[in-house]
Amino acid sequence: MSNPPQFTWDDLQFFLAVARTGQLSTAARQLRSSHATVSRRIDRLEFTLKVKLFERNPRGYVLTAMGTRFIETAERMEQETERLRADLADGSMAQRGLVRLSAPEGFANFFFATVLPRFAAQHPHLSLELVTIQQIMSLSRKEADLSVVLDEPKGGPYFAEKLTDYHLQIYGSREYLAKAPDITCREDLLNHPFVSYIEEMIFAPGLDYLGDVHPRIKPQFQSSSIFAQLTATRNGLGLCILPYFFASRYPELVRVLPEEIDLKRHYWITCHRDLKQAPRVRAVIDFLREAVRSEDARFVPPYVTAAGPVRRGKPEA
């Protein structure tokens, strides 16, 4: 059994020309074709669709009720085709579409949000959804197109690329430290209340770092939000391990044992392999890579070298 004939975009162009002019000869001149070819294309389109699009009479071709309805669809297709041609001509295809990006709260609020004006200027036709509830976003179920994560994905159909290292130190407010017991070594930290994550709600191993500082530290205040932790620390509730790239913005915060304690973590950009080459996704990956590279000094403290923290003698307090 043979396959039924299929209509093409060329058939729709012939249909629109006849619908707009009402004459085969006029449509043929516009399309640089022949009277017979235009007639044959219209007949084929009607046969394929199994509907009558025109009434033929001595004055020309008049749209039927179905033809009038069909012209709306054909014109929308014509508009999208012209838009596609324009995009291809000016190279803006990578700037169209919607991308959902999942990212940790700290990276999203204290870095990516600050470069959004630059992103919008470079990609005016690209819409972005920024999700910071990372623990419930699933790349495998396509709930997010892209994710910034703290731990490289192991296995699975994913593309992953390291964006940057970032550093964390212990911080306390100047007001708190002025009244609290002195801190000269790690053991002294046990005399201070800590602010940290809720242990059973830590969604990435990279966030479980209290044990890296001292195995016996028990937080007094816990929150799943790094912003809440930052606010509590700025208000003198206690000490907190915070990323340098945003804690350093607040002059009321002071690093504690900066020459001894410096934790390094990483941000990765990852997506499903099926989406890696999608122009809209590629545009966001390229932008993030460039933005992080241009802002590298925000992530690495000036006193940290490749070998670790620079030793300066008396610790900051």
pLDDT digits (tens, 9 = 90+) for 57-99: 888 899 999 998 888 888 888 777 776 666 665 555 445 688 8
Q: Angle between the 35-49 and 24-31 helix axes, to the nearest 10 degrees?
A: 100
Q: DSSP 3-state assignment of 312? A: coil
**Residue at 47: amino acid letter:** F
Please tell me which residue, 29 or 238, carries the higher pLDDT value: 238
Tokens representing 187 are 């053991």
Beta strands in 216-259 (DSSP E): 221-222, 239-243, 253-256
Mean pLDDT of 150-155: 84
Mean pLDDT of the chain: 84
To 10 degrees, the CA torsion angle through 107, 108, 114, 116?
Answer: 130
**pLDDT tops 80 at residue 134:** no
Is the torsion defined by CA of 183, 186, 192, 194 positive or negative? Answer: positive
Residue 41 has a CB neighbour count (10 Å cut-off) of 23
d(CA 222, CA 199): 8
Q: Which residues contact 248 (CB under 8 A, 6 or more apart)?
A: 301
Residue type, 199: E
Q: Using 50, 70 and 90 to split pLDDT, how confident is the model at 1?
A: very low
One-letter amino acid at 297 equals: A
The number of beta carbons lying within 10 Å of the beta carbon of residue 210 is 18
184-237: pLDDT as tens digits: 999 999 999 999 999 888 877 778 888 899 999 999 999 999 999 999 999 999
- Ranges 31-40, 112-121, 129-138, 168-177: which has the least confidence: 129-138
Tell me the three state secondary structure of residue 167.
strand
Residue 264 parent element (H or E) = strand 263-272
DSSP 150: S
What is the mean pLDDT of the segment spanning 272-276? 82
Task: Give residue-wise pLDDT tens across range 14-37.
Answer: 898 898 888 998 888 888 889 899
Given its phi and psi angles, is residue 309 left (phi above 0), alpha (psi -120 to 50 degrees) or beta? beta
Residue 107: φ, ψ to 5°: -65, -40
Half-sphere exposure of 245 (CA within 13 A, CB side): 26
Domains of the chain: 9-89 (1.10.10.10), 97-302 (3.40.190.290)
Write out the two tokens for 196.
């940290």
Q: Which two three-digit tokens encode residue 55?
A: 């009434």
Give 91's DSSP letter: T
Sheet strands (E) in the chain: 54-57, 60-63, 97-102, 126-131, 146-149, 158-173, 194-196, 221-222, 239-243, 253-256, 263-272, 304-305, 308-309
Q: Estimate the share of the chain in helix, then strand, then coil, as percent rounded to the nearest 5.
A: 45, 20, 35
- What does the pLDDT look like over 37-54, one tens digit per residue? 999 999 989 988 899 999
